[in-house]
Amino acid sequence: MTNKFIHFIANWKMFGDINSINSLNKVIKFSNIHKKNKYRIIYCPPYTLLNLFSRKVKNTRIMLGAQNCHHEQNNSAFTGSISAKMIKKIGAKYVIVGHSEVRADGETDLIINKKIKTLINNGLNIILCVGETLSQRKKKQTYKILKNQISRALKGIKKKNNILIAYEPIWSIGTGIIPKIFDLDKDIKYLKNFLLKKIKIKKPKILYGGSVNDKNIIDLKKIDILDGFLIGGASHSPKKFIDIIKKTFI
Ligand code: 13P
């Protein structure tokens, strides 16, 4: 995992308040010292903190992302929603779409596809999450599920170079369980080949997400075709988050 940029994306979900800004101090300091390694740190706090975080990370190596957005254009009448343009204007560069928690709440492949189109039109980078349930895995449907999720999400989309694919097996999110390294390596290779050959992404980038922590990173980093990690719980603690980054490069 050396000669390319490794993404460390902190997905804070519904965590964080105004005091969380202090978390960033240590991470900013770390990134100022560790300039040599090739990595990208992207914080995706809840919407309520985007503005605050945006000001804090200005002129640092840390980038900002949103956890979701609405698929309709800016100024549409959708109570409670945020547009891609609003996210762009606040200074964020990335948006997560297709997270299993959002899919479980009703986000369909069609909506994901519309969101991606809107995000591309607004010049934002996309973190597209895909992943199977445990029962689908047991029935050996993983590849079929992943292929369907990706093909449907990217249907009709030509500009695919700013899309990161985050493989997040649902059974691994928040459970402390990660796939066996051998299996994960095989699955990531399969995905990369699929993205390259069938989806025609020239340089596909794949992240892994699901219970990544400062211990299992030692094993996960062995999968050298990975382009980074989407990290939930362990990213709340600046110490753990920094440890994950440090250990990736040891
Ligand atoms: P955890 O790291 O808490 O398992 O969450 C993973 C995730 O869903 C990131 O998007």
Ligand 1: does its nearest atom lie under 6 Å from the Cβ of 44? no
Whole-angstrom distance, CA of residue 196 vs CA of residue 167:
16
Is 30 a domain residue?
yes
Q: Which of 99, 101, 107, 132 is catalytic?
A: 99
- State which amino acid sits at residue 43: Y
Ligand 1: does its nearest atom lie under 6 Å from the Cβ of 232? yes
Instruction: Look at the block and give the residue holding tokens 């110490």.
Output: 239
HSE-up of residue 55 (Cα within 13 Å, Cβ side): 6
Whole-angstrom distance, CA of residue 125 vs CA of residue 145:
23
Closest ligand 1 atom to Cα of 101: 8
CATH at residue 27: 3.20.20.70
Q: For residue 68, what pLDDT band results from cuts at 50, 70 and 90?
A: very high
Whole-angstrom distance, CA of residue 204 vs CA of residue 160:
9
Instruction: Look at the block and give the residue holding tokens 């919407």.
Output: 47
Is 44 a domain residue?
yes
Distance 175 CA to ligand 1 centre (A): 9
Q: Is residue 160 over pLDDT 80?
A: yes
b vs e for 224-246, b when ≥16 Cβ sit within 10 Å of the residue's Cβ? eebbbbbbbbbbbebebbbbbbe
Whole-angstrom distance, CA of residue 40 vs CA of residue 27:
12
pTM, two decimals, is 0.97
Distance 91 CA to ligand 1 centre (A): 24
Closest listed residue to residue 235, CA positions, set 29, 4, 45, 39 = 45
Catalytic (active site) residue 168: yes
Is 181 a domain residue?
yes
Is 136 a domain residue?
yes
Domain count, the chain: 1
Is 150 a domain residue?
yes
What would the 3-class secondary structure string for 119-138 be?
A: HHHCCCEEEEEECCCHHHHH
Interval 190-235: pLDDT, tens: 999 999 999 999 999 999 999 999 999 999 999 999 999 999 999 9
| Per-residue confidence (pLDDT) for residue 2, from 0 to 100 | 54
Closest ligand 1 atom to Cα of 176: 4
**Helices vs. strands in the chain: H and E counts, helices first:** 10, 8
Ligand 1: does its nearest atom lie under 6 Å from the Cβ of 204? no
Q: What average pLDDT does the structure give for the chain?
A: 96
Lowest mean pLDDT: which of 29-38, 41-50, 146-155? 29-38
Is 219 a domain residue?
yes
Is 1 a domain residue?
no
Distance 75 CA to ligand 1 centre (A): 31
- Residue 29's domain comprises 6-249
Is 194 a domain residue?
yes
**Token code pair at residue 125:** 């980078």
| Per-residue confidence (pLDDT) for residue 211, from 0 to 100 | 98
Q: For residue 1, what pLDDT band results from cuts at 50, 70 and 90?
A: low
Ligand 1: does its nearest atom lie under 6 Å from the Cβ of 233? yes
Interval 89-101: pLDDT, tens: 999 999 999 999 9
Question: Which 8-state DSSP code applies to residue 54?
Answer: H
